[in-house]
Amino acid sequence: MTEMPATATTWLMARTEASAHLWQTDPRGMAAALPYFRATITHVVALHGGALSTKWPACDGFTAAFDRATDAVSCALYLQLTPLDPFELCIGVHSTAAGTERLRDIAHGGQTLISGTAASLVEGDLPSGATLKYLGDQRMDGGEPQERLLQLCHPGLHKYLRPLRMPNAVLAEVLVN
């Protein structure tokens, strides 16, 4: 897929953890790493059938749309497993742009958060070795009801015990499990 679809079914949004700090402390290193980062993102998104958006330009963040939720989740996992030093991606996957942005913003570097809506579309079709861990409920968009919030887990990814950046989620599940 080379252009944004008219009706995207699943959005993937990513930002880099502590981007401003990295740019302030090592601007030359960041500038040198950026072309590889952008080329890798472009390649991985295309490899999974996604389309990168130019509507949300950011030097070290991006938005992609996918026709299938399974492709978005596979892309997210592949991106998290790919060495992108010094960048650590905070990724959100959901069916609306606003909800995906919310997930991206509350995730930590190296973490992928998936809405219950997107998770229901990938049940039984996750990438090899991947699982989803329930983290609680979260309101995605202003008028929508709360939705299940899940974390993409894989043996090659970080395990998080830190609370997410959200005031109203149920996080006891994270600490218990």
DSSP per-residue string spanning 105-174: HHPPTTEEEEEHHHHHHHTT-PPTT-EEEEEEEEE-STTSPEEEEEEEE-TTS----SPPS-SSS--HHH
> Does residue 13 lie in a domain region?
no
> Does residue 136 lie in a domain region?
yes
What does pTM read for this prediction? 0.84
Q: Which residues form the domain of 95?
A: 18-153
Cis peptide before 86 (omega within 30 of 0): yes
pLDDT at 91 over 80: yes
The enclosing domain of 142 has a CATH number of 3.30.70.1230
Q: What total number of domains does the chain contain?
A: 1
Give residue 164's pLDDT.
Answer: 63
> Does residue 2 lie in a domain region?
no
H/E segment holding residue 75: helix 69-81
Q: What is the pLDDT of residues 17-59, one digit of tens each?
A: 888 888 889 889 888 888 899 899 999 999 999 999 876 556 6
Q: What is the pLDDT of residues 101-139, one digit of tens each?
A: 889 998 999 999 999 999 999 988 999 999 999 988 876
> Does residue 111 lie in a domain region?
yes
> Does residue 167 lie in a domain region?
no
Give residue 11's pLDDT.
Answer: 94
> Does residue 40 lie in a domain region?
yes
> Does residue 55 lie in a domain region?
yes
Return d(Cα 140, Cα 158) in angstroms, integer: 24
